[in-house]
Amino acid sequence: MKKILLVEDDPNLGLLLQDYLQLKGKFDVELCKDGEEGLRAFTKQEYDLIILDVMMPKKDGFTLGKEIRKINPGVPIIFATAKAMIEDKTQAFNLGGDDYITKPFRIEELLLRINALLKRADKADKQTDDSPTQFTLGSYKFDYTTQLITRSDVNQKLSTKEAQLLRLLCLRKNEVLTREEALLNIWHDDNYFNGRSMDVFLSKIRKYLKDDPSVEIINVHGKGYKLLIN
C-alpha cells in the first residue's frame, strides 16, 4: 500500500481528502494540520508521495516543500492551493514540485494526478538502463548514481532533476539536447511551468561547472542546449 503525507490546515477538507484517498485510492494517508507537524511526520518515516497546501500556519507549503526536497530530492510533491497566479505556479515548480492543482478542485482529478505521478515513479524505479552513469567533464567527475560532481576532492550534491538533466547533456556531449526531449524525459510534460523550472536547474548546473573554462553549456537558439568540452 502506497503511503501519502497530506498536509492541509482546513480540517474539513483534510479529513475529506484523507477518507476519499484511503477508500477510493487504497492509500495509507497521514494527515497533518500545519507545516511544522508535516515536517516532523516526514522526518520520521518514508512516504511515496506528498500533498501540500500552500497557505498554512507556522510553516507555509512552499517552505515545507523546499525543506522536504533537501531531505529527499525524489519524492513526488503536489501543491494544492487557492493561489492561481503564474508566479505562484512557477515558484512551486522551481522548488521541485511535480504538480500543482488549484482549489477548488474535484477530488477525482486529484486522484488521477496522484496515480499518474506514482506510476511514473514506479516506472523510473524499475527501468533498467545500460547507459553510462559516470562521466568526466574536464576537471570534474560526475557520478549520476550518487548525484555528485567532484573536483579536487570537493563534492557538489545535485538534486534528482539536476542530475537527470546533467546526465542527458553528458549523453549528448557536443550535440544538441532539445528542450522538448529534456522536458519529456525528466518532467514528462513540456509545459511552460516545467520549462521555467528546467531553466532554473540549468543555471545551477552552469554554476557548479563554472571553475573549468573548458566545460560549457551553451544555448542553441530555437532548439535547446549543448554541452561542450574542449
- Mean pLDDT, the chain, rounded, equals 90
Tell whether 115 and 144 lie within a shared domain: no
**Over residues 3-27, mean pLDDT:** 95
Is the distance from CB of 97 to CB of 70 less than 8 angstroms? no
Q: What is the CATH number of the domain that holds 152?
A: 1.10.10.10
Q: What's the CA gap between 113 and 109, in Å, rounded?
A: 6
Q: What's the CA gap between 217 and 169, in Å, rounded?
A: 9
How high is the pLDDT of residue 125? Answer: 60
Tell whether 14 and 121 lie within a shared domain: yes
AA letter at 73 = P
* Model pLDDT for residues 27-49, shown as the tens digit of each residue: 999 999 999 999 999 999 989 99
Tell whether 115 and 21 lie within a shared domain: yes
Q: How many domains does the chain have?
A: 2
How high is the pLDDT of residue 128? Answer: 42
Tell whether 141 and 196 lie within a shared domain: yes
How high is the pLDDT of residue 153? Answer: 84
* Closest of 203, 202, 178 to residue 190, by C-alpha: 178
* Model pLDDT for residues 149-182, shown as the tens digit of each residue: 999 889 999 988 899 999 999 999 999 999 988 9
Which of 124-128, 166-170, 181-185 has the largest mean confidence? Answer: 166-170
Q: What's the CA gap between 159 and 162, in Å, rounded?
A: 5
* Closest of 47, 63, 54, 50 to residue 95, by C-alpha: 63
Kindly tell me if the per-residue pLDDT of 220 is higher than 80.
yes
Q: What's the CA gap between 64 and 80, in Å, rounded?
A: 13
Give the model's confidence band at 194: pLDDT under 50 very low, under 70 low, under 90 confident, else very high: confident
Kindly tell me if the per-residue pLDDT of 209 is higher than 90.
yes
Q: What is the CATH number of the domain that holds 111?
A: 3.40.50.2300
Which CA distances in Å does 9 have to 16, 61, 142, 196? 12, 10, 41, 29
AA letter at 106 = R
DSSP state of 176: E
Instruction: Please enumerate, as own/partner, the contacts of 104-107 that have beta carbons within 8 Å and a separation of 24 or more.
Output: 105/80, 107/16, 107/17, 107/20
Which CA distances in Å does 131 have to 157, 170, 172, 177, 206? 21, 11, 12, 16, 23
* Model pLDDT for residues 133-151, shown as the tens digit of each residue: 899 999 999 999 899 999 9
How high is the pLDDT of residue 71? Answer: 82
Tell whether 119 and 156 lie within a shared domain: no
Structural domain that includes position 207: 134-229
Q: Which residues pair with 99 in a beta bridge?
A: 78
How high is the pLDDT of residue 124? Answer: 62
**DSSP letter string over 155-168?**
EEEPPHHHHHHHHH
* Closest of 74, 69, 80, 76 to residue 49, by C-alpha: 76
How high is the pLDDT of residue 64? Answer: 95
Span of 68-77, 156-165, 170-179, 202-211 with lowest mean pLDDT: 68-77
Q: What's the CA gap between 115 and 216, in Å, rounded?
A: 38
Which of 126, 161, 184 is the C-terminal boundary of a domain? Answer: 126
% of the chain with per-residue pLDDT over 90: 64
Which of 126, 158, 176 is the C-terminal boundary of a domain? Answer: 126
How high is the pLDDT of residue 126? Answer: 56
Which of 126, 146, 174 is the C-terminal boundary of a domain? Answer: 126
